[in-house]
Structure 1
Amino acid sequence: MLQKIEGIVIRTSNYGETNKIVTIFTREKGKLAFMARGAKKPNSRLSSVTQPFTHGSFLAHSGSGLGTLQQGEMLSSMRHIREDLMATAYAAYMAELLDKSTEEKQPNPYLYEFFEQSLHYLNEGYDAEILTNIFEMKMLQVIGLRPELSSCVNCGSQEGRFAFSIRENGLLCHRCFDIDPYLLPLSPAAVKLLRLFYFFDLSRLGSINVKEETKKELRAAISMYYDEYSGLYLKSRRFLDQMEKMQAMLGEKKDDD
């Protein structure tokens, strides 16, 4: 059956000398994989539209097994993402997190819109670290994880100072700190942003300006939570961590000069 779909390329793998297997997260059908015959040839009409992060309209033949990609029209090349190494690293992490958190052929129009919007903001040059934090917090619900962020996980209080407890799966107020000796202290700004990222609508995102100290707090809390509960091992996350460390080192060296 021939079908027209809109989607974003989230993964490609080589198949033989000239072919690719392309995984596309689609608006209509969720995650789908297709054989793109000849797509590795530079002069192939499928070469450009099967690049990672390409947003396109595709014509594909699908059946009971692996479908075949017939043609595609690029809607957005996400040029900045593909030309900037750090942006590429963040986009690759988002794409792999989405890929590992979803099953094939499970439509989720909300998730598609969210992913497309996230890449659009990244392509527009918004703060990549914060966009990634928002993406991670929103993906928790897709994975089936629901930390308590609206009030203290132990007493229910919404007032006071808060810290993040990995063990207790949420925030603890200062009156309940003694419950978890390994809790992660957070500044009020970090607590506010964790809540905001988890609950708010990405389409309402305005200008982003977060202090470096707060970014470090967010990174630590989110990374520790994912490591403890998600069960995911993402190569792109390890690569991104290395890239961030290298970027920080270069920044420090530049300051010294």
Structure 2
Amino acid sequence: MNWNDVGLILTAAKHGETSMIIHALTQKNGRCAGLVRGGAGRRMRGVLQQGNEVDLTWRGRLVDQLGTFTVEARKSHASNLFDDPLALAASSSALALLDIALPEREPHPALYDASLYLLNSMEKNIDIWPSLFVKWELGLLGEIGYGLDLSSCAATGTTEDLVYVSPKTGKAVCRFAGRPYHDRLLHLPAFLQPDPMNLSLSAAAQKTDILVGLALTGYFIEKAVLEHRPNVHLAARERFLSILKKSFSDVA
């Protein structure tokens, strides 16, 4: 059997002398693995870079076997981000999360489209993509069944002054209801609130909000993914956070 699809390269590892095994997030077939014969050669090495958008043909005798990929270049996101260490680290983090969090061969077309949008935003607009990254991580959590409910207060039902998130339920909590439990709740940044006011924030406050948002999504990513896979380490995400914090402090 065989199928054709478009995909993003998540990982590529050498197999034998001349081949590579790749993982790709495809638009219609989800996260899939396959052998690329000759993938270690000079011509294919550039095509199989993490983050590149490619055309894929998968062939295999059985649907659950490894199978082989024929790969053709579509767009090189990796080379477009090469001169921007922060965006490159962010893309590596996003692609690593996709490879770690998604089950194999389960379609997630909306997440595929959102991932492409995120990569394109990194290439075009440095001012907005960090907040998009936080929203992308929220979308990833929703796709794997750990979506947060930030629409109204879990205690009062109000949609105003939502500043906390319950670490147990993933639901928003308003300032009044959450004040007695301030130290035990996660913080909700302004740009994720139902009526965001981040456009009126100072540049420093917006940077703080980005870090608060990443702390929020990071907590639930660890809860959703790492509790079930304790040997997995989110090294790429930690590198991204380190570079992001340094970049914020350098321009403060």
Task: Give TM-score scaled by structure 1 length.
Answer: 0.79
Give the equivalent residue in structure 2 for 1:193: 192
Q: Tell me how far apart the structure 2 counterparts of residues 196 and 37 of structure 1 sit (CA, whole Å).
A: 51
Q: Relative to 1, partners in 2 of residues 1:47 and 1:168: Cα closer, same or farther, differing over 3 Å?
A: closer
Give the match's secondary structure for 1:9: strand
Equivalences for residues 155-194 of structure 1 within 5 A: 155-160=156-161, 162-177=163-178, 178-179=180-181, 181-186=183-188, 190-194=189-193
Give the match's secondary structure for 1:211: helix
Give the equivalent residue in structure 2 for 1:151: 152
How far is the alpha carbon of 1:130 from its aligned partner?
1.6
How far is the alpha carbon of 1:214 from its aligned partner?
2.2
Q: Tell me how far apart the structure 1 counterparts of residues 133 and 162 of structure 2 sit (CA, whole Å).
A: 26
How far is the alpha carbon of 1:33 from its aligned partner?
0.9
How far is the alpha carbon of 1:185 from its aligned partner?
4.8
How far is the alpha carbon of 1:228 from its aligned partner?
4.0
- Unpaired segments of 5 or more residues in structure 1? 198-208
Q: Tell me how far apart the structure 1 counterparts of residues 225 and 68 of structure 2 sit (CA, whole Å).
A: 33
Deviation string 1:53-111 (CA, Å, 9 cap, x unpaired) is 111112332232211123x3322111322443222211111111122221222122222
- AA aligned opposite 2:51: F
Q: Relative to 1, partners in 2 of residues 1:168 and 1:83: Cα closer, same or farther, differing over 3 Å?
A: same
Q: Report if the CA contact (8 A) 2:29-2:106 is conserved.
A: yes
Give the match's secondary structure for 2:149: coil
- Unpaired segments of 5 or more residues in structure 2? 197-202, 228-232
Give the match's secondary structure for 1:224: helix
Q: Tell me how far apart the structure 1 counterparts of residues 20 and 61 of structure 2 sit (CA, whole Å).
A: 18
Q: Which runs of 4+ in 1 moved over 6 A?
A: none
Deviation string 1:193-249 (CA, Å, 9 cap, x unpaired) is 25589xxxxxxxxxxx88223223323333233334443642211221232244345
Q: Relative to 1, partners in 2 of residues 1:158 and 1:139: Cα closer, same or farther, differing over 3 Å?
A: same
Give the equivalent residue in structure 1 for 2:9: 9
Give the match's secondary structure for 1:134: helix
Task: Give TM-score scaled by structure 2 length.
Answer: 0.80
Q: Report if the CA contact (8 A) 2:142-2:148 is conserved.
A: no
Q: Report if the CA contact (8 A) 1:80-1:124 is conserved.
A: no
Deviation string 1:6-51 (CA, Å, 9 cap, x unpaired) is 1111111121233210111112211111111221221x3x333211
Q: Relative to 1, partners in 2 of residues 1:85 and 1:162: Cα closer, same or farther, differing over 3 Å?
A: closer
Give the number of aligned pairs: 235
Q: Relative to 1, partners in 2 of residues 1:85 and 1:147: Cα closer, same or farther, differing over 3 Å?
A: same
Whether 1:121 aligns to 2:116 is no
Give the equivalent residue in structure 2 for 1:139: 140
Q: Relative to 1, partners in 2 of residues 1:145 and 1:194: Cα closer, same or farther, differing over 3 Å?
A: farther
- AA aligned opposite 2:76: S
Q: Relative to 1, partners in 2 of residues 1:2 and 1:168: Cα closer, same or farther, differing over 3 Å?
A: closer
- AA aligned opposite 1:77: S
Q: 1:61 aligns with which of 36, 59, 66?
A: 59
Q: Tell me how far apart the structure 2 counterparts of residues 162 and 247 of structure 1 sit (CA, whole Å).
A: 26
Percent of matched pairs sharing the same residue: 22
Give the match's secondary structure for 1:123: helix
Give the equivalent residue in structure 1 for 2:222: 227
RMSD: 2.7
Equivalences for residues 199-214 of structure 1 within 5 A: 211-214=206-209
